[in-house]
Amino acid sequence: MNLFNVGRVCLKIAGRDAGRTCVIIEELDNSYVTIDGDVRRKKTNTKHLEPLAQSLDIKKGASHEDVKKAFEHLGWKTWEHQKKESAERLKKVRKMKEKKAEPKTKKALKENKASTETKAPKAEDKKAGKTAKQ
Amino acid sequence: MPAGKHKSRTLRRVFVRTPGSNTVMHYRRRKPSKAECAHCKQELAGVPQVLSHKLRNMPKSSRRPERPYGGYLCSKCTRALMKEKARNLGGAEQ
């Protein structure tokens, strides 16, 4: 009797996804099936699967979303592809460059100079005032 | 005569040829023992037999198999464990 029919819930025994639950989506061969669920959607040998008692109402060749719905109904997780972080790091470098470029404009430099000139004499005045009071 | 600390065979001896074409004896640390399965004591595949400081600089994926219990149990024992787990699960969910 073949237990590995479409909709059968299995536990992955071997490989990276070992110990995770999955559903058989398609029977490819006498020994090969495609699986989906809490694992990466892929072709596997049935030697790498251990059938469980449960089976789900799933059509042959069902999409990942259908499997996700069926799994969520039972309160199980599904495996989702996670994006890599390396792309985000590049963006941060670009932002830093833009910030440095801003104060180098002529207007900004002039304003900076003006602000320093106006502030400096005030400080001197205060000192002078203090000495006068004493 | 070798120094007192080099008389014991804790360090292995390596003959190194110097640029001046002399052969010199160097003392180096021995390799650590091979990693073995915690259950069946079989030698583990995919775990390099190098000193810990070299292992530290390696990427994590080349230190042990990318599998649950990788680098601790052999593949056969992991499968047996997972099967046992599956059979317990199946009984509970029926």
Domains (range + CATH), chain A: 8-74 (2.30.30.30), 89-133 (no CATH)
Separation CA A78–CA A98 (nearest Å):
41
CB interface of A with B, residues 5-64, below 8 Å: 10-16, 18-19, 50-54
Chain B partners within 8 Å of A18 (Cβ): 67-68, 78-79, 82
- Closest-CA residue of chain A to B94: A53
Name which of A14, A19, A52 is nearest B93 (Cβ-Cβ): A52
pLDDT band at A101 (very low <50, low <70, confident <90, very high): low
* Shortest alpha-carbon distance between residue A107 and chain B (Å): 50
* Shortest alpha-carbon distance between residue B52 and chain A (Å): 25
What pLDDT, on a 0 to 100 scale, did the predictor assign at position A114? 76
pLDDT tens-digit readout, A37-47:
999 999 999 99
Strand order in the sheet with A32-37: A42-45, A32-37, A21-27, A8-12, A49-55
Tokens representing A121?
């004499």
CB pairs under 8 A between A and B: 44
pLDDT tens-digit readout, B49-92:
999 999 999 999 999 999 999 999 999 999 999 999 898 875 44
